[in-house]
């Protein structure tokens, strides 16, 4: 099946056309979204999780925090750092989430992010010079540029440990590295 056929067989849904499709709503993807929008591109981010933050959305186990100084672990534009201060030198995941909310409030990023949407495949349509991208919600999107900001630790790894399936799963989450923690 070629890319054009894929675009016309997606559950009868309309095919959205973009200038840029970015994958991932961590630091890298959010920067791309803001930067490319300001350059006038029609851009959307697809994110597998239900909120922004990337690794800081997925990693919320007790004690999770950065080991880089907080003043360095943030975007460098003045409109974002001017009225933001971490309360700790090495901020925790809770503060990182608050920071991402602050960034979202300032830049209005969420309106161009489709959450709970995992990109599952992509092909380049050489006839139209576009990427044809499939996602977990059955949608097909065409984009001139396809920018992968998927991080280095976003792929879950579930180790083969005896008794793992009996681990309490009430409000457990899986970290980006595949560990499950009960919140």
Positions touching ligand FAD (CB under 6 A) are 23-29, 46-49, 54-55, 57, 59, 64, 66-68, 73, 118-119, 149-154, 176
Q: Are 21 and 148 in contact (CB under 8 A)?
A: no
Helices (H), the chain: 3-7, 27-38, 55-58, 78-81, 93-107
Based on CB atoms, which residue is closest to ligand FAD, 51 or 166? 51
Based on CB atoms, which residue is closest to ligand FAD, 76 or 162? 76
In whole angstroms, how close is the CB of 147 to ligand FAD at the nearest point? Answer: 11
Q: Are 150 and 24 in contact (CB under 8 A)?
A: yes
In whole angstroms, how close is the CB of 181 to ligand FAD at the nearest point? Answer: 12
60 φ, ψ (degrees, to nearest 5): -130, 35
Based on CB atoms, which residue is closest to ligand FAD, 121 or 163? 121
In whole angstroms, how close is the CB of 6 to ligand FAD at the nearest point? Answer: 17
3 state DSSP class of 125: strand
Based on CB atoms, which residue is closest to ligand FAD, 7 or 48? 48
Please give the Cα distance from 100 to 110 (Å, whole number): 11
In whole angstroms, how close is the CB of 126 to ligand FAD at the nearest point? Answer: 23
In whole angstroms, how close is the CB of 177 to ligand FAD at the nearest point? Answer: 7
Based on CB atoms, which residue is closest to ligand FAD, 4 or 150? 150
150 φ, ψ (degrees, to nearest 5): -90, 5
Please give the Cα distance from 3 to 74 (Å, whole number): 38
């Amino acid at each position: 099946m070629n890319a054009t056929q894929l675009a016309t067989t997606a559950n009868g849904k309309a095919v959205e056309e973009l200038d840029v499709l970015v994958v991932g709503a961590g630091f890298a993807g959010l920067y791309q979204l803001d930067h490319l929008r300001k350059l006038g591109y029609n851009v959307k981010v697809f994110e597998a999780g239900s909120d922004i933050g990337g690794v800081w959305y997925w990693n919320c186990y007790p004690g999770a925090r950065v080991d880089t100084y907080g003043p360095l672990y943030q975007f460098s534009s003045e409109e974002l750092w001017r009225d933001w201060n971490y309360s700790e030198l090495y901020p925790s995941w809770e503060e990182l989430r608050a920071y991402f909310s602050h960034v979202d409030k300032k830049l209005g990023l969420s309106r161009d992010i489709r959450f709970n949407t995992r990109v599952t495949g992509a092909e380049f349509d050489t006839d139209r010079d576009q990427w044809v991208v499939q996602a977990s919600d059955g949608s097909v999107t065409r984009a001139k540029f396809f920018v992968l900001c998927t991080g280095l630790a976003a792929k879950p790894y579930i180790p083969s440990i005896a008794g793992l399936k009996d681990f309490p799963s009430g409000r457990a989450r899986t970290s980006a590295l595949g560990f499950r923690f009960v919140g």
